[in-house]
Amino acid sequence: MDVVAIGETMVSLTPEKAGLMRHADSFIPKVAGAETNTLIGLSRLGHSTGWISRLGEDELGAMVLKEVKGEGVDTSYVELDASISTGMFFKEIVNDSDVRVYYYRKDSAATKMNPEILNREYITKAKYLFISGITPAISSTCCDTIFQAINIAKDNGVCVVFDPNIRRKLWSEKEAKETLLRLIKRSDIILPGKSEGAFLFGTEDSEQISNACMQLGAKLTVVKLGEEGAYFQSLEEKGYVPGFPISRVVDPVGAGDGFTAGLLSGLLDGLSSRDAVERACITGAIATTVSGDYEGLPDRKLLKEIQRNDKR
Ligand code: CKP
Ligand code: MG
């Protein structure tokens, strides 16, 4: 397996028309979760991916499983639980620049994950283990599972990739800060956004955020700067990569996961850090041009076409 990830995926419901959700009369269901968004992006680019998780044995769980499997992600280590529900959330698009998320995921099937779900071999045979800061926030047993998975990965030379993905609705600031910093110290590649850098290190300066991550032991840090692109720092090189221009953002949720997919795809293809970040800027931007968190992610053919017309 090229990339294995652990985390919760839910069904999201978005009102068909923009505006306050109280006026909605129809909702569009989609499948969404940071880890599967990333794995699907990778899978579309031809990489082999595996997802570790739990779902309710219910209709929403069936929908998630059908979709994720259909995108080519291995789901051998997704447990089904007939006694608990699959998580869900609403995505309210008030207008282009105001998108709000409301979770209904407390005590969902995924929150009951514990380290027993981890198959050592499944993780040690992967090239990358992808973790987001959402999973440790959903329950203490999920948090234990993440640290245990990282221990297995690190003991066996599997590269640990970490996106802090701070979700303030899921835990207190104190708990989030402590745990996310511990996770950064255990990871090889760190992918913070500017506001996450500000939360964790008290600065919005990309170079300072990156330096802080490198001092904590990272081998590569990429600070995501939205439409401005990204700043990256590896042990060998550093620099800015300009953002990939798009005409209109339809749905910004999922941009970070699309970015991770492009970055890991580039690294798996043996590209330099800079070139991999360039690919990440494309996949992150393209994810926002379509409604849904991963639907816009490109396959190889589309990526090549986009790169051919890339005027950066
Ligand atoms: O940071 P991003 O906008 O790329 O992440 C979006 C995902 O997992 C979304 O699909 C949602 O299900 C979630 O983050 C979450 O739990 O918030
Ligand atoms: Mg994110």
What is the block-wise mean pLDDT of the chain (312 residues), using blocks of 10 residues?
98 95 96 98 98 98 98 98 98 89 97 98 98 98 98 98 97 98 98 97 98 98 97 97 92 94 98 98 95 94 93 78
For residue 82, how far is its CA from the centre of ligand 2 (angstroms)?
30
- Cβ–ligand 1 distance for 32 under 6 Å, the answer yes
Residues forming beta bridges with residue 129, ordered by sequence position: 4, 160
- Cβ–ligand 1 distance for 37 under 6 Å, the answer yes
257 is catalytic: yes
Q: C-alpha distances in angstroms, 261 versus 188, 194, 212, 223?
A: 16, 19, 24, 15
Q: Which atom of ligand 1 is least distant from the CA of 254?
A: 4
Are the beta carbons of 66 and 58 closer than 8 angstroms?
Answer: no
- Cβ–ligand 1 distance for 4 under 6 Å, the answer no
- Cβ–ligand 1 distance for 254 under 6 Å, the answer yes
The predicted pLDDT at position 242 comes to: 97
The predicted pLDDT at position 22 comes to: 96
Q: Which atom of ligand 1 is least distant from the CA of 252?
A: 3
Q: Whose CA is nearest to atom 7 of ligand 1?
A: 34
Q: Which two tokens stand for residue 181?
A: 């910093």
The predicted pLDDT at position 97 comes to: 83
The predicted pLDDT at position 250 comes to: 85
For residue 256, how far is its CA from the centre of ligand 2 (angstroms)?
4
Q: Best substitution site from 92, 253, 294, 297 to test ligand 1's pocket, by max atoms within 8 Å of Cβ? A: 253
In the chain, the amino acid numbered 72 is G
Predicted ipTM of the assembly:
0.97
The predicted pLDDT at position 95 comes to: 87
Kindly provide the b/e burial profile for residues 210-241, where b requires at least 16 CB atoms within 10 angstroms of the residue's own CB: bbbbbebebbbbbbbbbbebbbbbbeeebebb
Q: Best substitution site from 293, 295, 297 to test ligand 1's pocket, by max atoms within 8 Å of Cβ? A: 293
Closest CA relative to residue 182, chosen from 238, 230, 219, 133: 133
Q: Whose CA is nearest to atom 5 of ligand 1?
A: 254
Q: Which atom of ligand 1 is least distant from the CA of 132?
A: 8
The predicted pLDDT at position 96 comes to: 78
The predicted pLDDT at position 180 comes to: 98
The secondary structure of the chain in percent helix, strand, coil, rounded to multiples of 5, reads: 40, 25, 35
The predicted pLDDT at position 312 comes to: 77
